[in-house]
């Protein structure tokens, strides 16, 4: 049946007249089993899993390079891992993660999706190891993660490591990755039929991909100012994104998959929840416990280990909407340190007085703030703001510090999916042939995503999408 539809589609193109014929000469039609839109973490996980199940897979990527937001991420990935956590006295399990995640998102996450995610999260260690990832072997609390279950490869740009191994694995399995190829529309049989392909554009012009299953993995809409202002009117163009902090580069997170889905009656969920994080370059650690935030008066104002939305509200409430982030010599620094020092975003000082001078705050006030904080860190109790995770005192010069303000980071909302990652339409019915995974989907993180849950969720749901898309392919072969 699908064959005839594809044939009919091809024939109707062939029957077009003179002018149309010239146009059609440039229009190519490529058939495959599964088309994945987006070569980020979710797209690769889906493509590899589908290819492992013997499906023929093509990934479409609009940018000249692969990786999306995944490749530039700090690389923290949350999953319960008793072998590492227990020796450190940390109790964890899928059930604990499930409860914490629902609470972190104010119970707006879909409990069924959260359950599937947290049940599968512990598989991520072995899954990534099977692809070639070597874990650093330390467990930590990612920034905004709210619990010590973060893992990474230990590299300063850990996001690169995931994409490198994913890309290698995809290539080995024969997945075709087509960069500079932008999906522009999903092809659906009427308003209620199956999705059977994708219209796209590449350097040679228009190209149509016909497939038995399509997986949308196009990431979020943080850089679509119009769309994000529709859902949070505060987020005008004066806010940059974490993927493009200067506003001078390009960001790929333009919500294409959501818009293409809506054009064929896909439903969306949670679109109003848009996450901001401090990402101007002054913060040089990406875990909780090694830094403090002070305002332009040299005073703390927030729990630095709290929820990302609370920290965003805290910073936006300060004079000038910024704060200083201070750490010292003992902390583990991320990729921001060297470029930050060179560009003057990060400063180095040997004394608190020297630091206060650069910050233009009263040295006495800053000294009191740091001394008071260090007392809290020593007793692991913070009566002022309720911080509970301290990995060190801030007392070993040189101090490293820089200005931070909020950038748009992650969009919790997106296409509505069920536990099989099938996309649901406006009537709550499955759109046959259409799957979605990663930041393009909504309903998983609720109002506020915990730091470290993104890479884990895009991986878990990417794999589910790949498995189910391949299942559809083999089912249609049996027809």
The contact set with ligand ADP (CB under 6 A) reads: 37-43, 60-63, 68-70, 182-183, 217-219, 252-253, 256, 438-440, 458
Please answer whether residues 222 and 243 qualify as being in contact, where contact means their C-beta atoms are separated by less than 8 angstroms.
yes
Taking CA atoms, 448 is separated from 230, 274, 309, 428, in Å, by 18, 8, 6, 24
**CB nearer to ligand ADP: pick between 144 and 298:** 144
Distance CA 347, CA 213 (A): 51
Minimum distance from CB of 407 to ligand ADP (Å)? 15
**CB nearer to ligand ADP: pick between 256 and 406:** 256
Q: Which residues of 314-338 are buried (b: 16+ CB within 10 A; e: fewer)?
A: bbeebeeebbbbbbbeebbbbbbbe
**CB nearer to ligand ADP: pick between 241 and 331:** 241
To which H or E segment does residue 134 belong?
none
Minimum distance from CB of 99 to ligand ADP (Å)? 25
**CB nearer to ligand ADP: pick between 239 and 461:** 461
Q: SS3 of 243, please?
A: coil
Minimum distance from CB of 331 to ligand ADP (Å)? 27
Minimum distance from CB of 268 to ligand ADP (Å)? 15
Minimum distance from CB of 240 to ligand ADP (Å)? 16
Minimum distance from CB of 479 to ligand ADP (Å)? 30
Distance CA 230, CA 250 (A): 21
Distance CA 307, CA 300 (A): 16
Selection from 393, 94, 73, 338 nearest residue 220 by Cα: 73
Minimum distance from CB of 370 to ligand ADP (Å)? 37
To which H or E segment does residue 204 belong?
none
Number of Cβ within a 10 Å radius of residue 135: 19
Burial of 397 (0-12, 13-18, 19+ CB in 10 A): middle
User: Which of the residues 300, 308, 449, 463 is marked catalytic?
Assistant: 308
Question: Treating both helix axes as pointing N-terminal to C-terminal, what angle do 41-52 and 453-478 enclose, rounded to 10 degrees?
Answer: 30
Please answer whether residues 389 and 378 qualify as being in contact, where contact means their C-beta atoms are separated by less than 8 angstroms.
no
Q: Are strands 57-60 and 34-37 parallel, antiparallel or unpaired?
A: parallel
**CB nearer to ligand ADP: pick between 37 and 349:** 37
User: What beta strand segments (E) does 88-144 contain?
Assistant: none
**CB nearer to ligand ADP: pick between 65 and 475:** 65
Task: Give the CA count within 13 Å in the CB-facing half-sphere of 28.
Answer: 10
Assigned token pair, 343: 């560009």
Minimum distance from CB of 118 to ligand ADP (Å)? 18
Distance CA 464, CA 436 (A): 10
Catalytic annotation on 283? Answer: no
**CB nearer to ligand ADP: pick between 69 and 158:** 69
> Nearest residue by C-beta to ligand ADP?
40
User: Across-strand partners of 140?
Assistant: 150
Selection from 179, 116, 188, 450 nearest residue 311 by Cα: 450
Distance CA 433, CA 411 (A): 25
By annotation, the residues acting in catalysis are 308
């Amino acid at each position: 049946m699908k064959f005839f539809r594809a044939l009919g589609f091809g024939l109707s193109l062939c029957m077009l007249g003179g002018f149309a014929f010239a146009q059609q000469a440039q229009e190519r039609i490529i058939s495959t089993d599964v088309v994945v839109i987006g070569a980020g973490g979710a797209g690769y996980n889906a493509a590899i899993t589908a290819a492992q199940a013997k499906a023929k897979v093509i990934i479409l990527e609009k940018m000249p390079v692969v990786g999306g937001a995944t490749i530039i991420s700090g690389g923290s990935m949350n999953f319960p891992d008793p072998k590492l956590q227990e020796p450190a006295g940390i109790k964890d399990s899928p059930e604990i993660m499930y409860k914490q995640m629902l609470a972190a998102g104010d119970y707006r996450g879909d409990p069924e999706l959260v359950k599937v995610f947290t049940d599968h999260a512990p598989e991520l260690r072995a899954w990534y190891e099977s692809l070639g990832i070597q874990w650093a072997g330390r467990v930590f609390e990612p920034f905004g993660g709210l619990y010590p279950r973060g893992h990474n490869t230990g590299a300063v740009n850990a996001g690169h490591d995931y994409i490198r191994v994913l890309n290698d694995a995809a290539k080995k399995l024969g997945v075709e990755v087509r960069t500079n190829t932008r999906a522009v529309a999903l092809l659906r049989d009427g308003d209620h039929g199956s999705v059977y392909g994708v219209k796209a554009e590449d350097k040679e012009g228009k190209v149509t991909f016909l497939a038995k299953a399509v997986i949308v993995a196009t990431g979020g809409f943080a850089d679509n100012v119009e769309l994000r202002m529709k859902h949070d009117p505060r987020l005008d163009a004066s806010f940059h994104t974490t993927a493009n902090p200067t506003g001078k580069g390009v960001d790929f997170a333009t919500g294409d998959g959501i818009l293409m889905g809506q054009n064929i009656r896909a439903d969306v969920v949670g679109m109003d929840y848009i996450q901001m994080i401090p990402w101007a370059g002054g913060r040089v650690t990406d875990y909780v416990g090694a830094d403090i935030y002070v305002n332009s008066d040299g005073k703390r104002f927030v729990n630095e280990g709290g929820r990302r939305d609370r920290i965003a509200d805290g910073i936006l409430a300060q004079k000038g909407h910024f704060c200083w982030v201070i750490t010292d010599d003992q902390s583990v620094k991320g990729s921001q340190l060297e470029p930050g020092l060179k560009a003057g975003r990060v400063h180095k000082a040997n004394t608190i007085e020297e630091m206060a001078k650069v910050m233009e705050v009263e040295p006495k006030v800053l000294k009191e703030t740091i001394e008071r904080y260090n007392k809290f860190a020593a007793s692991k109790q913070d009566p002022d703001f309720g911080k509970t995770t301290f990995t060190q005192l801030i007392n070993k010069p040189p101090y490293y510090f820089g200005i931070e303000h909020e950038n748009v980071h992650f969009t919790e909302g997106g296409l509505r999916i069920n536990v099989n990652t099938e996309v649901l339409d406006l009537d709550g019915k499955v759109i046959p042939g259409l799957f979605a995974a990663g930041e393009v989907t909504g309903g998983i993180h609720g109002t506020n995503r915990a730091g470290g849950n993104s890479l884990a969720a895009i991986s878990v749901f990417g794999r589910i999408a790949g498995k189910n898309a391949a299942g559809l392919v083999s089912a249609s072969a049996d027809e």
